[in-house]
A and B are shown apart, each in its own frame.
Chain A
């Protein structure tokens, strides 16, 4: 694994909640950037789309901590690039492993909020808040960057390691039809997320499908 990816992971983690909010941390964009750099765009994007849809449905409303889909896309894309994945079965193994590793990564988001709360309390107790507000904010950014660098890199390494262990035991020639049906099921679930109801929803979906059918 090239060291180049480590600071990039830190930047993705910062963009996620601590800074910018430019959507560079969205799985679709993460996998595209990594796929372009790692010269394996299409296979990176497959996982990016999966994690993106998960993230879109898992809204960060209020105090809720949504799944760390950025990590999922990062770990998946790095596995694809490092292990030269060019088949559906290999991509699915990497996808499943990245999804499972996303859970501990999400826990560290919760932990970061607790660390921030501890820092806030320390600053408050020592009456540093008003004078050193900027410092507290800087430490927050730094923590977010460091969390991204360490957690994302270590998590991705674990995914790559597990992939190398597992993949040779699950070599299979999955038919495209099975994948299309899975995508349709996932797409149907995603369609429920939108507010339009009844006939208007059907109309939009059908119109889109028909338009694409005609132009492609």
Chain B
């Protein structure tokens, strides 16, 4: 029961651990804030140097924070190179989390919410925060026991479930749903005139080509200029 309460407290605290995000140690203060009570609970006494090192630079994906705290506690309890492991794991999980949570899951949930919103009900928008939060909180809740149990071998667990490939599946879903959204737009345009369908497909392809040629910043400014031009052009015409 005490373990459950400690784990639950850690999970709740982990929702706020980025509040001192700064230019010196990024999430280092938050990491120390989460780790210190867990180490105390395990009866680990840190030396002054170790205590100071808890504030070192630390940056990872927020969904994996409790997992890294668990790994760190296990490593330091076993007298291993906990600080090196922490640095390695924070980078590894940052990459894994960024590629799955930021790069793949967010677009997929957005496209899914948009699909449901357009085709079924506006309440479909809730899919986006609900599914993301469910996955985020589940990983935060399970993270500490998993990291504490597997220690430096935790990454094998993620390899076993082929976590790095989940992003590819999510990407496929996003593309399918993006195609559906563009299809909906084009069908609306096609009902007015056939040329809109052809011009729309050409514009889509042009957008895909532009992605490889210019960065997002330039593209967005070009788009804003295009919108202003359209507003002025049709303003004069009408």
Contacts and interface: CB of A to CB of B under 8 A. Distances in A.
Interface of A: 17-24, 26, 28-29, 32, 41, 45, 49, 52, 54, 56-63, 89, 92-93, 95-96, 99-100, 113-114, 116-117, 119-121, 124, 129-130, 133-134, 136-141, 144, 169-178, 180-196, 200-201, 204-213, 215-216
Interface in B180-238: 180-189, 192-193, 196, 199-201, 203-212, 216, 219-220, 223-224, 226-228, 230-238
B81 to A, nearest CB: 23
B114 A174 contact: no
Contacts of A192: 207-208, 210-212
B128 interface: yes
B29 interface: yes
Given A116-B20, A170-B231, A191 B59 contact: no
Contacts of A141: 16, 19
29 contacts: A18-B16, A21-B18, A21-B63, A22-B129, A26-B110, A29-B125, A49-B114, A52-B110, A56-B107, A57-B216, A60-B102, A62-B94, A113-B21, A114-B22, A140-B20, A141-B19, A172-B234, A175-B234, A181-B196, A182-B226, A185-B223, A187-B182, A187-B204, A188-B209, A208-B175, A209-B179, A209-B183, A211-B180, A212-B180
A176 B175 contact: no
Nearest to A213: B183
Interface stretch (B30-38, B70-78, B142-150): B30-38
A133 B114 contact: no
A193 B104 CA distance: 10
Nearest to B95: A61
Contacts of A207: 176, 179
Nearest to B32: A133
Interface string B1-38: 00000000000000111111111111001101100100
B113 interface: yes
Contacts of B219: 189
B15 A21 contact: yes
Contacts of A208: 175-183
B228 A96 contact: yes
A42 to B, nearest CB: 8
B205 A188 contact: yes
A120 B24 contact: yes
Contacts of B16: 18-19, 137, 141
B171 interface: yes
A176 B192 CA distance: 9
Contact of A180 (B98, B103, B136, B186): B186
A196 B178 CA distance: 13
B103 A59 contact: yes
Most interface-central of A23, A57, A62 (chain B CB within 10 A): A23
Contacts of A137: 16-17, 19-20, 29-30, 33
A78 B226 CA distance: 24
A152 to B, nearest CB: 18
Interface in B151-194: 167-168, 171-172, 174-189, 192-193
A49 to B, nearest CB: 7
B110 A28 contact: yes
Contacts of B178: 187, 190-191, 205, 208
Contact of B176 (A56, A96, A205): A205
B204 A174 contact: no
Q: Which 6 A-B pairs have the closest CB atoms?
A: A188-B207, A192-B211, A208-B179, A140-B19, A209-B183, A204-B175
A130 B107 CA distance: 39
